[in-house]
A and B are shown apart, each in its own frame.
Chain A
């Protein structure tokens, strides 16, 4: 960044800065539609794997569908989390971000928000299609979508913690999975429980409420960990 833009940045309010950051991330993401499409394609193909592995019996598929859909959402979120900070780390923009006067907490939230918008949100919107493919009852589809909306938000926040700690590593690879999967487990438990409850005709409200609670908790605390991780990775 040249001198002029640095001067301009320092006169921006925090809100304006974060909105610009969010828009920048979205624009960058949209310029590479393949990277948005890949996780969705991954999701589709893995959904196809389950009937191949478990057998096409509709009742059986319907029984496993909530868990299966949630696990695949988890895995595709994991795959995309790795690249959230990598591009900016490699060309030095991340270092500039750390030096900017705006609070890192909010800047990080902008990154995570952008990531959720192009992964979790899209996944949640496309999930009814996969629910039908796996023979999930139509009554549970709204619950599926809402649980995915809330849950993938938490997943994005947690995944970015792992991403921030491993962004500087050359042999990052599978490490982020090892770090982040234990953190994903509670989300999976309540997410799939919500959908299963809906499939059985029970109220899914409590489970969605817990997911919402997890989201609030994660939004409050995760950016601190992400910021710390980014500082450590840059200093390394």
Chain B
């Protein structure tokens, strides 16, 4: 059983297997996203209260869910890297940061665009958007910390510690902001429409959330491949790979 972990911890194996996985996963993910977008944009009924602007939910909520999950994945990878000193976990953690930051950015921007027709202003300091903004800061902090270190091994360890501290803080921050918002804005409108959401709208939403998770996995594999090549550039297997001319 430990031989599985030994295999998983080997960069060349991961490079090879991610290549074969991506060959089919990436087209499927793109197709699923396209289907989900068409479904949400064109084949669901408009919302009673919000009209057609609610359609943004099909990208805002999946992006937000994956952004938050991505941080936990990053923190988990960091913990594995610190405790078991697995190189793959290190590379996974590094890959999560820019991807997660990008998804958080998408969640924030789409949230703001959704807010304009719904509440009349581009930015509302409601609990969810403010927590998303803090999440963006947490991601950017990890990226900045990595770049600031000259010694890249120390950089990874420092980022692992920071991600773990952030992971502990996210629930605290979310609860604090949630409570703070309820204190200042008693009559708040929840972004997902509060009361029951119609099942015809739930199915495309779940489809998109699943597609976004698949997208996250694909992006992680893509970034991990780049990182593996960059850090293992001098090793034999990479040289053989380059001379074969395959990718």
Contacts and interface: CB of A to CB of B under 8 A. Distances in A.
Contact of A235 (B134, B148, B154, B179): B154
A232 B145 contact: no
B186 to A, nearest CB: 15
B187 interface: no
B10 interface: no
A228 interface: yes
Contacts of A189: 176-177, 179-180
Given A165-B145, A169-B149, A175-B148, A193 B165 contact: no
Contact of B165 (A183, A190, A232): A183
7 contacts: A165-B162, A178-B137, A182-B173, A186-B169, A186-B172, A233-B158, A236-B154
Contacts of B157: 228, 232, 235
B166 interface: yes
B179 A228 contact: no
A194 to B, nearest CB: 12
A178 B145 CA distance: 9
Interface in B179-221: 179-180, 183
A165 B161 contact: yes
Dominant secondary structure at the B interface: helix
A70 to B, nearest CB: 13
Nearest to B155: A236
Interface string A158-173: 0001000110110110
Nearest to B164: A225
A129 to B, nearest CB: 27
Given A179-B162, A182-B141, 8 more contacts: A171-B148, A172-B148, A185-B176, A214-B172, A225-B161, A225-B164, A232-B157, A235-B154
A221 interface: yes
A169 B144 CA distance: 12
Nearest to A188: B176
A189 B134 CA distance: 13
B61 interface: no
B151 interface: yes
Contacts of B148: 166, 169, 171-172, 175
A190 B176 CA distance: 8
Contacts of A178: 137, 140-141, 144
